[in-house]
């Protein structure tokens, strides 16, 4: 029973909301209630409270589609739209589809190029039985984190004026693959001139130097929403069975090989940031003011955290390589003693 206790402790420490295994009667989230949605549209409870929507629920299908599309773009930003509905203070994303638009970080409202596509697609979808409306847009930031750039903020503010309720989602496919977990963020902007009452501390993420200014200027103009995921009972069942075929891929994936470039980029970016921090520290020694010194210190602390993160990912990748090596390479004849059976020792010389 130790493992059960350990699992419960772990779940508690990490606030894991165990979604009960959905049974067929609770697939009600998939039902689209036209009248209720229309009523909600008319009431517009978000008009008075800029912080009205607090949560996002994303379906398994939408997540899969968005991540695959983002990854297929490689290093080019891609975008698409999400369809869904609202439920109190939560926005529910049921499905997503890609738009044939490129280079979304160069102009506001890149969506304008794809209006015709959007209209056609929505029409055909309604015919095929998907009744939900467009409820947001998503785009990718390959390699530089989940946040809204200046252009994104302007786009989203425009959307929130005319197409409410609307949500912005950002996915980083490069970091997803490197870290082994999905990097995704959901945001809504505050209207012009609104100052957030309390400043919720968002999860820290490292931003490359060439984008950090853009991030800093606008980071107060939007807030992040909590993301949870859901899946239907059939999805649950299928995904469980899928694991039977999947374990081979888990074992054979080698993140170290796949992400060599990205990690090298991260390390060189860190080196630049270190130089910057060093210069700032050198200057501050002349005038030892308390508060300004704290700023440089926190920059050094940030760099430390970033380097720790990169290291952790590298070590994870190395661990899987070593395990695979032990499993498949250190085979000995049965007549030798088992004492000689050990993996490669961590020698420092080659």
Instruction: Give residues 177-236 in contact with another protein (rule: CB under 8 A).
Output: 177, 179-182, 184, 203, 227, 229, 231-235
For residues 51, 52, 58 and 62, what is the CA-based torsion angle, rounded to 10 degrees?
Answer: -80
Token reading at 29? 């989230």
The smaller minimum CB distance to another protein, of residues 194 and 305, is found at 305
Nearest to 40 by CA among 162, 165, 134, 141: 165
Q: Strand 90-102 relative to strand 55-59: parallel, antiparallel, unpaired?
A: parallel
Answer yes or no whether residue 176 interacts with another protein by CB under 8 A: yes
Contact 84, 95 (CB under 8 A): yes
Class of residue 134 by CB neighbours under 10 A (exposed 0-12, middle 13-18, buried 19+) = middle
Answer yes or no whether residue 238 interacts with another protein by CB under 8 A: yes
Of 194, 301, 341, 342, which one interacts with another protein (CB under 8 A)? 301
Token reading at 100? 């044939």
**CB-facing half-sphere around the CA of 5: CA atoms within 13 A:** 2
Give residues with Cβ within 8 angstroms of 61, minimum separation 6.
Answer: 94, 95, 96, 235
Answer yes or no whether residue 10 interacts with another protein by CB under 8 A: yes
Of 5, 331, 333, 336, which one interacts with another protein (CB under 8 A)? 331
Class of residue 230 by CB neighbours under 10 A (exposed 0-12, middle 13-18, buried 19+) = buried
Answer yes or no whether residue 312 interacts with another protein by CB under 8 A: yes
Contact 108, 174 (CB under 8 A): no
The smaller minimum CB distance to another protein, of residues 42 and 127, is found at 127
The smaller minimum CB distance to another protein, of residues 154 and 233, is found at 233
Answer yes or no whether residue 128 interacts with another protein by CB under 8 A: yes
Of 5, 18, 289, 339, which one interacts with another protein (CB under 8 A)? 18
Positions 145 through 164 that interact with another protein (CB under 8 A):
none
The smaller minimum CB distance to another protein, of residues 197 and 289, is found at 289
Answer yes or no whether residue 89 interacts with another protein by CB under 8 A: no
Site string for another protein, 23-62 (x = CB under 8 A): -xx-xx-xxxx-------------------------xxx-
Contact 105, 224 (CB under 8 A): no
Answer yes or no whether residue 291 interacts with another protein by CB under 8 A: no
The smaller minimum CB distance to another protein, of residues 161 and 202, is found at 202
Of 35, 48, 106, 249, which one interacts with another protein (CB under 8 A)? 249
Answer yes or no whether residue 276 interacts with another protein by CB under 8 A: no
DSSP 204: P
* C-alpha to C-alpha distance for 83 and 134, rounded to whole angstroms: 4
The smaller minimum CB distance to another protein, of residues 181 and 195, is found at 181
């Amino acid at each position: 029973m130790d493992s059960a206790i350990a699992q419960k402790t772990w779940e508690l420490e990490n606030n894991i909301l165990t979604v009960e295994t959905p049974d067929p009667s609770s697939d009600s989230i998939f039902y689209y209630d036209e009248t209720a949605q229309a009523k909600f549209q008319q009431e517009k409870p978000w008009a008075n409270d800029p912080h009205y929507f607090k949560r996002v629920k994303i379906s398994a299908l939408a997540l899969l589609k968005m991540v695959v599309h983002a990854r297929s773009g490689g290093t080019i930003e891609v975008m698409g739209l999400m369809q869904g509905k609202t439920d109190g203070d939560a926005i529910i994303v049921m499905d997503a589809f890609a738009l044939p638009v490129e280079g979304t970080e160069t102009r506001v409202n890149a969506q304008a190029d794809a209006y015709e596509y959007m209209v056609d697609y929505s029409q055909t979808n309604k015919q095929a039985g998907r009744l939900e409306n467009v409820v947001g847009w998503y785009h990718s930031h390959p390699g530089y984190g989940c946040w809204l750039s200046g252009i994104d903020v302007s786009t989203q503010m425009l959307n929130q004026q005319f197409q409410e309720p609307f949500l912005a989602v950002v996915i980083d496919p490069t970091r997803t693959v490197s870290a082994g977990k999905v990097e995704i963020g959901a945001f809504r902007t505050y209207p012009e001139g609104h100052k957030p009452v309390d400043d919720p501390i968002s999860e820290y993420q490292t931003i490359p130097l060439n984008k950090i200014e853009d991030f800093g200027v606008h980071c107060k103009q939007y807030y992040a929403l909590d993301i949870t995921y859901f899946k239907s009972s059939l999805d649950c069942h299928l995904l469980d069975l899928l694991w039977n075929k999947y374990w081979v891929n888990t074992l054979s994936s080698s993140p170290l090989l796949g992400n060599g470039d990205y990690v090298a980029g991260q390390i060189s970016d860190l080196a630049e940031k270190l130089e910057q921090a060093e210069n700032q520290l050198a200057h501050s020694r002349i005038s030892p003011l308390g508060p300004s010194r704290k700023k440089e210190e926190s920059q050094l602390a940030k760099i430390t955290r970033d380097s720790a993160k990169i290291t952790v990912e590298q070590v994870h990748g190395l661990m899987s390589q070593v395990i695979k090596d032990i499993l498949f390479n250190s085979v000995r004849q049965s007549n030798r003693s088992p004492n000689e059976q050990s993996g490669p020792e961590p020698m420092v010389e080659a």
